[in-house]
Amino acid sequence: MILADVPRQLGRDDNGMLMTPEEFDAVEDWEEGFRYELVRGVLVVNPPPSIGELNPNDELGYLLRSYRDRHPQGAAINDTTPEFTIRTSTGRRRADRAIWAGLGRNPDHANDRPTIAIEFVGPRSRDRQRDYIDKRREYAEAGVREYWLIDRFRRTMTVFRGLKEETIIAEGETYTTDLLPGFELPLAQLLAVADQCARSSDG
């Protein structure tokens, strides 16, 4: 049921509105084309992901599903989806991709925290603050076991495990994790997709 003081539809003009997590969850209709987060009680309306984020994310989804469907240990993945809202202790964060792994069953998306959260860094300086600092802390506090931050500008992927451990993957390296046994992520493959999108946009 919609709470009394919350509009039935929220959109770009509602950026900065004060809300509780319960009010955010109760909204039934959102203006399409934007991403909505709740950060320390404030509604944040972000522009939609760029093609430089969408296409590498789609490529990553393909690699994950290929592993799930074809690898002998692919059943480690229970589900993966783009654009998933993660409940944190202070609000709601929109992850570029979420992975549930090792549950041995289909996840309950409303209650099971993703095992892995993934973000593709945007071009703005505030994107870096949000992704490298704020979301790292919030995802760790929410119980996300690994946070992959793919940065096409620095040509790296940083893997955060909680607040104390991080691993930097260089462009020519391949990432593996015990959470997805046998899965290999060649970072250069994702960056090549992002580069192709950038060239198309410039042309």
Asked whether the predicted pLDDT for residue 198 surpasses 80, the reply is no
Residue 37's domain spans which residues? 9-46
42 and 97 inside one domain:
no
66 and 146 inside one domain:
yes
90 and 23 inside one domain:
no
Asked whether the predicted pLDDT for residue 68 surpasses 50, the reply is yes
Strands 116-120 and 146-151 come out as: parallel
Any bridge partners for residue 94, and if so which? Answer: 85
Asked whether the predicted pLDDT for residue 202 surpasses 70, the reply is no
pLDDT tens digits, one per residue of 31-66: 888 999 999 999 999 888 888 788 999 999 999 999
135 and 41 inside one domain:
no
Q: How many domains does the chain have?
A: 2
Q: Between residues 139 and 28, which one has the greater pLDDT?
A: 139
SS percent in the chain: helix, strand, coil, step 5: 35, 30, 35
pLDDT tens digits, one per residue of 179-197: 999 999 999 999 999 988 7
37 and 60 inside one domain:
no
89 and 133 inside one domain:
yes
112 and 73 inside one domain:
yes
Q: Decide if 3 is inside a domain.
A: no
90 and 38 inside one domain:
no
CB 166, CB 151: distance < 8 Å: no
Q: Decide if 4 is inside a domain.
A: no
Q: What is the DSSP letter of 131?
A: I
Q: Decide if 41 is inside a domain.
A: yes
70 and 120 inside one domain:
yes
For 98-102, 133-137, 199-203, which range has the lowest pLDDT when averaged over its residues?
A: 199-203
pLDDT tens digits, one per residue of 105-125: 999 999 999 999 999 998 877
Rg (CA), the chain: 17
37 and 63 inside one domain:
no
Which among 49, 48, 44 is positioned nearest to 150, based on CA atoms?
49
* Average pLDDT in the chain: 91
- Is 163 exposed, middle or buried (CB count within 10 Å of its CB: 0-12, 13-18, 19+)? exposed
Instruction: Look at residue 111 in the predicted model and tell me its pLDDT.
Output: 92
